[in-house]
Amino acid sequence: MSTKAERRSAIAQALANTRIEGHRPTAEFLSDCESVVDGRMTYSEAIQASSSRAMGAPDANQAGPTSVPKGS
């Protein structure tokens, strides 16, 4: 996705799909989504940040591309 509008639309659709399935996104996850929309994070960085939080990383909100444990 190259434009902010395209990223916002993609994120909105993804969130709608997960909500249909009963998922309730956390504030941290929604913040990551907004960071992707604004271009402050890539999709990969947002995925890795969520994965790190799920794995219980102590500083997961600051997770970057290299913070995912080996084998993930």
Average predicted confidence (pLDDT) for the chain: 84
Q: How many residues does the chain have?
A: 72
pLDDT tens per residue across span 29-53: 999 999 999 999 999 999 999 999 9
Q: Over 60: is that where the pLDDT of 65 sits? A: no
d(CA 68, CA 59): 11
Q: Which residue in the block uniquely carries the two structure tokens 């913070």?
A: 67
Is 62 inside any structural domain?
no
Mean pLDDT of 7-30: 96
DSSP state of 69: P
Q: Please calculate the CA angle 29-71-24 and round it to the nearest 5 degrees.
A: 20
Domains in the chain: how many in total?
1
Q: Are 49 and 32 in contact (CB under 8 A)?
A: yes
pLDDT of residue 36: 96
User: Is 35 inside any structural domain?
Assistant: yes
Whether residue 22 is contained in a domain is answered as yes
Residue 70 lies in a domain: no
- Angle CA(17)–CA(20)–CA(26) in degrees, nearest 5? 80
**Structural domain contains residue 21:** yes
Residue ranges making up the domain that contains 46: 4-56
Q: Answer whether residue 71 is part of any domain.
A: no
